[in-house]
Homo-oligomer: A and B are copies of this chain.
Amino acid sequence: MASMGELQAEIQFLRREIQVLKDIEAIKQLKGRYFRSIDCKLWDELADCFAEDAVTGYLNGREHYEGRDAIMKYLKSNMDMPVLTMHQGHQPEITITGETTAVGTWALGDYIITLKNKGIQCAAFYHDEYVKIDGRWKIKSTGYDLVYREMWDRNETKSLKILDRMHQPSSWEGL
């Protein structure tokens, strides 16, 4: 039979194991919110995903920005218009490295329909760092290395029709 002290130590151990599982799940949901906010153009919700001192290295590190404000300015300059985007993340490999730190890798598949009806498609791998601030996980650094990125003119496909779109050109001013 175990002693009280042994049971208490055991419970403490299980609590830490559960915390790791909860942290992994919370980070997956953070990244889900990040991708969803981009595609739905929910800029405030997206900004909330980043730590204030976050840095990026998108496009093989070419798109490097420092600080949440600079990152948001960059992201909005590319997407705060009726461009249609799909960013989907897969196969998270998250490692909790401390009580408030974690790293993770994600596969990315994205597809963009530009205002001029170009298609841009890529596959890539994200490499992220996360930090827990006041009990909530945030993106501390993020970026991706491309497997490939390609572009084509969607007008070439004569029969191609968009049947539904979330972001209507007519609802954007100044185009």
Q: Which residues of A contact B (CB under 8 A)?
A: 1-2, 4-5, 7-8, 10-11, 14-15, 17-18, 21-22, 24-25, 28-29, 31-33, 35-36, 39-40, 59-60, 84-86, 88-94, 105, 107, 109, 111, 113, 120, 122-123, 125, 145-153, 156-166
Contact = CB atoms under 8 A, between A and B. Distances in A.
B147 A152 contact: no
Contacts of A1: 4-5, 8
- Integer count of this chain's copies in the complex: 3
B93 A90 contact: no
Contact of A91 (B11, B32, B151): B32
B123 A150 contact: no
B149 A162 contact: yes
A88 B86 CA distance: 13
A11 B11 CA distance: 7
Given A14-B14, A84-B148, A149-B162, 19 more contacts: A2-B8, A17-B18, A18-B18, A21-B22, A29-B93, A36-B93, A85-B147, A86-B107, A88-B91, A88-B109, A88-B123, A89-B91, A109-B109, A120-B163, A148-B164, A149-B163, A149-B164, A152-B159, A156-B157
